[in-house]
Amino acid sequence: MTGTGLSRGKLTMLMTKRYIAPAALMLLLWWSRIRALTAFPLHVDEAMHIARAVRVWDLHPFWDISDGKVINHWLIAFFYPQNSPDFAGRIATVMVCTVGFAAGLALARWLGGKEGMLLAGGLWVASPYLFFFERLALADAEAGALVVMTLWACIRLMSLKRLAGAVLVGFILAVASLVKFTAAPFALTVALLILAFTRCDLRRRTVFLAAIAATGAMISIGPFIYTLSKGRDFAVAFGWLRAGDTAVLAPNFEMLWGQLWGFGPKMWAFLTISGLVSLALLRTKNGLPGWGLIVGWATPLLLIMALGIQVLPRHYAVALPSALILAGGGLGLALSRMRSMEWRQAAVILIVGALATEMAFFTIAAYTEPGQMPLPAHMVRDYVTEHSAGFGLREAMESLPATVPIEDTPVIASMFPPSCRRANMYAPTGYELQCVQSAGADVILAALAERGKVYVLVEEPPIGVDVEALGVRAVRVEAYPRPGEDEANASVVLWLLETGRPGE
């Protein structure tokens, strides 16, 4: 009895020690992502996902899913986005990515031992690319995390060879694809790993693939039937695919390279490439040839790059989390060639410490001055300085009680309708903008004729109206510059329009 009790105690202690490191990494990921989560203003695509989540509460779970993002807004709906929409939308992404991160740590340990797990976790946490997109209410990072979960489930299936494992793989892959269609090509990864590297007879491997396909079909068929029954389609999603003979691979590869090297921190990119090369040359701790995993991961990524008319920066979030896990495993395998455990531990500590030090400067900027983060030029335009960004709009909405003295005075939004809807997510009670079609000059003049004065929040002409060309008295009330602008050339300006000619 004493011996049995002692054995159980030792087993408990060993299991506890086994999970301390991954638990600490998960807490670090969670803390780094939720800190100052709402500091960055809503991007136009985030607002679209949040608006869909609100429609779930109106019993429209598949409202406007033609772009291939079918269920990502369900988890946002769970957090009730009608209250604090930016936090509700983004915490959903953080939760999914944390679960995917946990699966990734398990996969990295399987690939390269404890060192591989620690290095993979360090790469993921310290990746400025993932840090940026995992803090936004977008579907891409969620799909990438679910792809990692799919790979983990596939490896478990290859090890245990049980039909239930195939059902699990099909379920996770289907969910990932419904979150974002760009996850669907990773079915090729699953097929390759099962057909080429699972150690059982061909008939059983075929049964596994059939079970995966059947599970995925059963889960996915509902949204497709619903959409077709409403006379809609997925034209937006499939319109993203290559048309004609347009050469897209080279510019899409250039975009990928820009995401690796365009951020301030670069060590993560160098280590990721080094780890993938190491994995390709070595065998995993369980005997699987690393090159097979690399081919399985790279094939769907190349397919996306070859078929996508324009692969945007966020689209690579579906593949990069898996790359970081595989790279961490590859680095762990390389370090395992060192005979001294002390040297291996020292190398891991040195690498993770260097990653954390370099990443610290990026995260501080994200928490305190989000408009000054060192981002690739394309992302600066899309997320910081152009109309798709939320800078200027958020500040304008938060200041309305101070700039518009009477609560029921109409404030017309002269901007793209999606920008107006996004701005209203920041509106204080009673100060919602009146949305119009683009510039809305006719609506503005009609409101002015009826009331004698009207406030207009204008986003830079020609998106918004040129108020000085309306032939009425116009007073510039307040300007809301975006990063890199000043009040004189601010893109977002609040005007007070009154009947009468200028100068009267």
**C-alpha to C-alpha distance for 94 and 344, rounded to whole angstroms:** 31
Supply the pLDDT for residue 245.
47
pLDDT at 15 over 80: no
Residues 98-137: pLDDT tens digits? 999 999 999 999 999 999 999 999 999 999 999 999 999 9
Does residue 462 have a cis peptide bond before it, meaning omega lies within 30 degrees of 0? yes
Three-state DSSP at 374 gives coil
Supply the pLDDT for residue 315.
92
**Residue 186 CB partners (closer than 8 Å, separation 6+):** 147, 150, 151, 173, 176, 300, 318
Residues 228-259: pLDDT tens digits? 777 777 776 666 666 544 567 888 888 889 88
**C-alpha to C-alpha distance for 442 and 405, rounded to whole angstroms:** 25
**C-alpha to C-alpha distance for 390 and 393, rounded to whole angstroms:** 6
The structure tokens listed for 207 are 């049964």
Residues 418-466: pLDDT tens digits? 999 999 999 998 899 999 987 899 999 999 888 888 999 999 888 999 9
Supply the pLDDT for residue 114.
92
The structure tokens listed for 201 are 């007879």
Residues 365-419: pLDDT tens digits? 999 999 999 999 999 999 999 999 999 999 999 999 999 987 667 899 999 999 9
Supply the pLDDT for residue 216.
95
Report the alpha-carbon angle 155-161-162, nearest 5.
110
Report the alpha-carbon angle 219-223-226, nearest 5.
135
CB neighbourhood size of 272 (10 A): 23
**What DSSP string describes 304-363?**
HHHHBSS--GGGGGGTHHHHHHHHHHHHHHHHTT-S-HHHHHHHHHHHHHHHHHHHHHHH
Q: What is the DSSP letter of 410?
A: -
> Do the Cβ atoms of 130 and 320 come closer than 8 Å?
yes
Three-state DSSP at 497 gives strand
pLDDT at 351 over 50: yes
**C-alpha to C-alpha distance for 45 and 43, rounded to whole angstroms:** 6
Residue 378 phi/psi, 5-degree rounding, is -65, -40
Three-state DSSP at 284 gives coil
Residue given tokens 């690579």 in the structure block: 316
Q: HEC states along 210-278? A: HHHHHHHHHHHHHHHHHHHHCCCCCHHHHCCECCCCCCCHHHHHHHHHHHHHCCCCCHHHHHHHHHHHH
pLDDT at 504 over 80: no
Classify burial at 77, counting beta carbons within 10 Å of its beta carbon; exposed 0-12, middle 13-18, buried 19 or more: buried
**C-alpha to C-alpha distance for 255 and 330, rounded to whole angstroms:** 25
> Do the Cβ atoms of 216 and 168 come closer than 8 Å?
no
Q: Which amino acid is at 382?
A: D
**Residue 303 CB partners (closer than 8 Å, separation 6+):** 185, 188
Supply the pLDDT for residue 300.
95
**Residue 21 CB partners (closer than 8 Å, separation 6+):** 114, 117, 118, 121
Classify burial at 189, counting beta carbons within 10 Å of its beta carbon; exposed 0-12, middle 13-18, buried 19 or more: buried
Q: Picking from 84-88, 261-265, 326-330, which range would have the lowest pLDDT averaged per residue?
A: 261-265
Residue given tokens 């079909």 in the structure block: 217
pLDDT mean across residues, the chain: 90
The structure tokens listed for 373 are 């983060």
